Amino acid sequence: MHFEDLIRQRYSARAFQDRAVPEPTLRAILTLAQHTPSWCNTQPWEPVVTVTPAATDRFRAALWAHVQAGSPPRPDHPFPVRYEEPHATRRKRCGGALYTALGIARENKRGAFEQTLKNFRLFEAPHVLLMFCHESLGFYGGVDCGLYLQSFLLAAQAHGVQTCAQAALATYPDFTRTYFDVPADRKLLFGCSFGYADPDDPANNFRTERESIETQVRWIDH
Ligand SMILES: Cc1cc2nc3c(=O)[nH]c(=O)nc-3n(C[C@H](O)[C@H](O)[C@H](O)COP(=O)(O)O)c2cc1C
């Protein structure tokens, strides 16, 4: 697939078929993502990946129980506390598109909350990736892992596998570290549920838009 098709066709999938991604495909995707550039080629990404649906289901059940117990969120890297313009409007538009696709009315706060909670069920995906990075690398380690994320998303798309990057999966890092036996100096940045998207689910039947380069880029020509 051409790069242009790949980057235009990728989208965040939030409903998946049950079937697993075969291990050779998974290895091919992860091998491609290893080509990501990084600061001094430090390659600081340390993703934990569930290779079988059974392993994913076990983690899903444990995470869900943790959330249902009312455990307080304590992300390693603080989430934004408010959104300024133009980010606030773009965020609202993207959430609105999802809720419209799902038939959740604007005033239906309960419905929106329940949809948000599906993050912690990994949108019922058969696989999940959880991204850890050594704390010593700070902001630029995060940049490198973000680059890795895009490589992973596009490599997956190239292999017919759909993804949903999820900051929500960084909400309970202590729980996630303990569950996967990850040392405390590895900070949890984000997760990514993935598998074969369910094309019939309305959650997958909307697409987000992008600003034009005129809006985003300061074009210096003199
Ligand atoms: C770092 C990062 C964190 C994200 N966190 C979430 C999340 O917690 N839950 C979710 O449903 N989508 C999440 N997304 C997906 C974004 O909402 C999505 O990428 C954006 O709306 C653009 O839509 P698209 O991916 O379909 O092009 C995240 C994306 C990124 C890159």
- Ligand 1 midpoint to CA 12 (Å): 6
pLDDT (0 to 100) of residue 160: 98
Ligand 1 close to Cβ of residue 168 (< 6 A): yes
- Residue 1: CB atoms within 10 A of its CB come to 12
Three-state SS for the chain is CCHHHHHHHCCECCCECCCCCCHHHHHHHHHHHCCCCCHHHCCCCEEEECCCHHHHHHHHHHHHHHHHCCCCCCCCCCCCCCCCCCHHHHHHHHHHHHHHHHCCCCCCHHHHHHHHHHHHHHHHCCEEEEEEEEHHHHHHHHHHHHHHHHHHHHHHHHCCCEEEEEHHHHCCHHHHHHHHCCCCCEEEEEEEEEECECCCCHHHCCCCCCCCHHHHCCCCCC
Cα of 164 from ligand 1 centre, angstroms:
6
Ligand 1 in reach of 208 Cβ (< 6 A): yes
The backbone torsions φ and ψ at residue 162, rounded to the nearest 5 degrees and listed phi first, read -100, 160
Instruction: Report d(CA 117, CA 67) in Å as an integer.
Output: 9
What is residue 92's predicted lDDT score, i.e. its pLDDT?
A: 96
11 lines ligand 1 (CB under 6 A): yes
- 32-83 tens-digit pLDDT: 999 999 999 999 999 999 999 999 999 999 999 999 999 999 999 999 999 9
Structure tokens at 12: 């965040």
| CA-CA-CA-CA torsion sign (17, 22, 26, 32) | negative
Span 110-132, mean pLDDT? 98
Ligand 1 centre distance from Cα of residue 166 (Å): 6
Say how many Å lie between the CA of residue 74 and the centre of ligand 1.
20
- Ligand 1 pocket, mutate which of 8, 9, 12, 193 (most atoms under 8 A from CB): 12
Going by alpha carbons, the residue nearest to atom 27 of ligand 1 is 11
The pLDDT score that the predictor gives to residue 100 is 96
Quote the pTM value: 0.98
Q: What is the pLDDT of residue 114?
A: 96
- Ligand 1 centroid vs 179 CA: distance in angstroms? 24
Q: How far is CA 173 from the centre of its chain?
A: 15
The residues, ordered by sequence, that sit 6+ positions from 123 with a Cβ below 8 Å of its Cβ are: 13, 14, 15, 16, 164, 193, 203
The ligand 1 atom nearest the CA atom of 207: 26
C-beta 119 within 6 A of ligand 1: yes
Average pLDDT, the chain: 97
Among protein residues, the one with the nearest Cα to ligand 1's atom 23 is: 208
| CA pair distance 142, 139, nearest whole angstrom | 5
Structural domains present in the chain:
11-79+120-208 (3.40.109.10)
For the stretch 176-195, pLDDT in tens is 999 999 999 999 999 999 99
- Residues 199, 204, 206, 209, CA torsion sign: negative
pLDDT over 90 (residue 1) = no
